[in-house]
Amino acid sequence: MKQILILGAGTAGTMMANKLSKGLDIEEWKITIVDKDKIHYYQPGLLFIPFDIYKKEDVIKPKANFFPSNVEFIITEISKILPEENKVLFTDGKTIKYDFLLIATGTNVCPEETPGLKGNLWYKNIFDFYTLNGALELQKFFRYWEGGKLVVNIADMPFKCPVAPIEFVCLADDFFTKKGIRDKVDITYVTPLSGAFTKPIATKMLSELLEEKNIHVVTDFYLEKVDNEKKTIVSYDGIEIPFDVLTIVPLNKGDEMIARSGMGDELNYVPTNKFTLQSDKYQNIFIIGDAANIPTSKAGSVAHFASEIVYENLICAIEGRTLTAKFDGHANCYIETGKGKGVLIDFNYDTEPLPGTFPLPGIGPFGLLKNTKMNHYGKILFRWIYWHILLKGKEMPIESHMTFAGKNKVNI
């Protein structure tokens, strides 16, 4: 039997295991997926925990629920890939030889990389919401907080789900308004970018939205350290911003295992062909999800669109044909904006988010780059879709390649 080994059973790995188990001849292929964690976290749901909208139980399920019986699921930590020997080592001393390898080990937050971030104030006045623990601690804090300066800061680029911190400040505005203390809460969004978002048209739309909500935006702030005594964040050029509570998106890095394998860039992301999703160096290795260094968003929707490309190209590679599928970097994100509304953006490597309707041109039901109630329902529905359709690798009524149909050209 030949072996396909999938490293990481998060969003991307789980989708691939399901796709492959349906598509490959199971007499001929053994599919194995490995993860150190037996719990699957619905990461987009972490955003809602600090504001008491979701509970812990809403965002966790056993990983084992999501694999068909012909996929072998092993819980163990990956120590190292030996790509020259087509072999993976595990920390328990076992090894697995593979014919084809899929790397789907995602990205992690690394608060320890910023001086002072994990100091005295960690989980007292400083929280991340990118981990379940951080989100739960912040939930407890916000329940009893009576107001002050809330600073939301992104430590560095790139980070997964680049819209999440914008959603966070919008939901905070909503939350404190409902609590009746919005006038006592000063919200500041501090980013290393030169605007609220990277792409111009979406940045303009989102900046106006933040202004409307009286959320201050500080741009071009590149975090050097946190001063625990003075309760300030300090940039490399010496600018200090005081906070009473800091919500941080720490530096994101690929797993250390990638570095141990000598397969990553300076942030442990694996050099990947942005069109074929094959490793730049090894023909029998493909990378899917946040672990790849491709220039698009690190998001579940991107992993979903990429999964069809990886599937097709893996089959080509198995059959010794040239790789025919070409990824366009397609991303599609619902941005929760509070007050029961949301904005939807759809873009790829070459095209920035444009206004229009989605997925049906001229009809919708979702409005692109518009703040609507329907888009909010899209986000809420997404949790159900994630658990029941996306992870299981079922077809979704959305093309993997971005389309211009239903989009309007704009001049800014």
Ligand X SMILES: Cc1cc2nc3c(=O)[nH]c(=O)nc-3n(C[C@H](O)[C@H](O)[C@H](O)COP(=O)(O)OP(=O)(O)OC[C@H]3O[C@@H](n4cnc5c(N)ncnc54)[C@H](O)[C@@H]3O)c2cc1C
Does position 266 interact with other proteins (CB under 8 A)? The reply is yes
Give the residue from 300, 296, 291 showing the smallest Cα distance to 255.
291
The pattern of x and - marking residues 16 through 35 that bind ligand X according to CB under 6 A reads ------------------xx
Task: Using CB under 6 A, pick the residue from 33, 49, 71, 78 that binds ligand X.
Answer: 78
Cα–Cα distance for residue pair 356/369, rounded to 1 Å: 7
Cross-strand pairs, 255: none
**Count of chain residues binding ligand X (CB under 6 A):** 36
Does position 275 interact with other proteins (CB under 8 A)? The reply is no
Stretch 266-285 residues interacting with ligand X (CB under 6 A): none
Does position 197 interact with other proteins (CB under 8 A)? The reply is yes
Using the contact rule CB under 6 A, the part of the chain among 11-19, 195-203, 320-328, 400-408 near ligand X is 11-19
| Cβ atoms within 10 Å, residue 60 | 14
Structure tokens at 129: 């919401």
User: 173-209 b/e with 16+ CB inside 10 Å = b?
Assistant: bbbbeeeeebeebbbbbbbbbebbbebebbbbbbbeb
Task: Using CB under 6 A, pick the residue from 5, 8, 203, 391 that binds ligand X.
Answer: 8
Q: Which is nearer to ligand X, 234 or 334 (CB)?
A: 334
DSSP-derived secondary structure for 186-250? EEEEE-SSSSSSSSHHHHHHHHHHHHHTT-EEE-S--EEEEETTTTEEEETT--EEE-SEEEEEP
Nearby residues of 366 by Cβ (< 8 Å), 6 or more positions away = 344, 357, 358, 359, 372, 374, 375, 378
Using the contact rule CB under 8 A, the part of the chain among 34-42, 57-65, 292-300, 310-318 near other proteins is 292-300
DSSP-derived secondary structure for 277-293? -BBSS-TTEEE-GGGB-
| 89: Cα separation from own chain's centroid | 27
Using the contact rule CB under 8 A, the part of the chain among 34-42, 55-63, 123-131, 289-297 near other proteins is 289-297
Does position 53 interact with other proteins (CB under 8 A)? The reply is no
Stretch 4-43 residues interacting with other proteins (CB under 8 A): none
Cα–Cα distance for residue pair 130/132, rounded to 1 Å: 7
Stretch 329-388 residues interacting with ligand X (CB under 6 A): 333-334
The pattern of x and - marking residues 241 through 270 that bind ligand X according to CB under 6 A reads --------------x-x-------------
Using the contact rule CB under 6 A, the part of the chain among 81-89, 179-187, 287-295, 390-398 near ligand X is 287-295
Stretch 89-108 residues interacting with ligand X (CB under 6 A): 104-106
Task: Using CB under 6 A, pick the residue from 132, 161, 277, 368 that binds ligand X.
Answer: 161
Does position 174 interact with ligand X (CB under 6 A)? The reply is no
Stretch 70-129 residues interacting with other proteins (CB under 8 A): none
Does position 111 interact with ligand X (CB under 6 A)? The reply is no
Stretch 139-158 residues interacting with other proteins (CB under 8 A): 156-158
Cα–Cα distance for residue pair 196/194, rounded to 1 Å: 7
The DSSP symbol for 122 reads B
The owner of tokens 């940045």 is 203
Q: Which is nearer to other proteins, 142 or 347 (CB)?
A: 347
| Cβ atoms within 10 Å, residue 321 | 10
The DSSP symbol for 84 reads G
Contact residues for ligand X, defined by CB under 6 A:
8-13, 34-37, 43-44, 46-47, 77-78, 104-106, 129-130, 160-161, 164, 255, 257, 289-291, 298-301, 303, 333-334
Contact residues for other proteins, defined by CB under 8 A:
156-158, 162, 192-194, 197-199, 220, 222, 224, 236-237, 266-267, 293, 295-297, 331, 347
